[in-house]
Amino acid sequence: MFFEPGFLGTAAPLYLDLATCYFFILPFLILYSISYAIKKQYKKHFISQFIIIAITLVVVVIFELGLRLDGGFGKYSQDSSYDYVFLLIYLLAHIVLAVLTLSYWTYFVFTSYKAYKAGDLEKKHKQKGRYVFLLILLTSLTGLSFYVLLFI
Ligand code: HEM
């Protein structure tokens, strides 16, 4: 069932459609979490960050397992009308960005929480938080466009 064509009407399997939809809504979830900080509801702000990052890690694990079990890029790129080398370079750039973003975001969530609890949240948190949001947005957009390149 997970590897049957999904609900988006493309040739992509169900697990990829689910992951793609999640990465479409992820930047909006982050914006929602930031809106709590703007309203000075800091507890909701950091709890929502922990929830979003936990869900994201689960989705990434499902996504990675699905890729490994279903044949991954090698299989999907065969049906794409785009050049293999172009797709490969695009994929590598996306992977580097995704790994950096996920690592830094996780680091930022934990260090911010620790500093906040110690009453020592740095002044630059606001600015760094905006950069983290931009990194997440860019990662989502490159992931979504990769889906388009492969399956549409
Ligand atoms: C989970 C640990 C976190 C804690 C304890 C925390 C706490 C806070 C606090 C206390 C503020 C207000 C600071 C100020 O006004 O100078 C704030 C603002 C902000 N936080 Fe966080 N934060 C956390 C994680 C994050 C993450 C992961 C992001 C980005 C993805 C983020 C993005 C922001 C942004 C953009 C603002 C500024 C909102 C505004 O414009 O007023 N925060 N956070």
Q: Mean pLDDT per segment of 10 residues, for the chain of length 152 residues?
A: 94 97 98 98 98 98 96 93 96 98 98 98 98 98 97 93
- Please work out whether the CB of residue 112 comes within 6 Å of at least one atom of ligand 1: yes
State which of 28, 34, 110 you would mutate to test the pocket of ligand 1, scoring each by most atoms of that ligand within 8 A of its C-beta.
34
In this predicted structure, what is the pLDDT of residue 79?
A: 87
Is the shortest distance between the CB of 30 and ligand 1 below 6 Å?
Answer: yes
> Does 26 sit in the ligand 1 pocket, CB within 6 Å?
no
Please work out whether the CB of residue 148 comes within 6 Å of at least one atom of ligand 1: no
**How many helices (DSSP H) and strands (DSSP E) are in the chain?**
5, 0
Helices 125-151/14-38 angle, 10° precision: 160
Run of H or E residues at 68: helix 42-70
Question: Whole-model pTM?
Answer: 0.96
The pair of three-digit structure tokens given for residue 15, joined into one six-digit string: 């697990």
- Cβ 113 under 6 angstroms from ligand 1: yes
Residue nearest to atom 33 of ligand 1 (CA): 129
pLDDT for the residue 129: 98
| Start-to-end CA span in the chain (Å) | 21
Atom 41, ligand 1: residue with shortest CA distance: 38
Q: Is 108 in the pocket of ligand 1 (CB under 6 A)?
A: yes
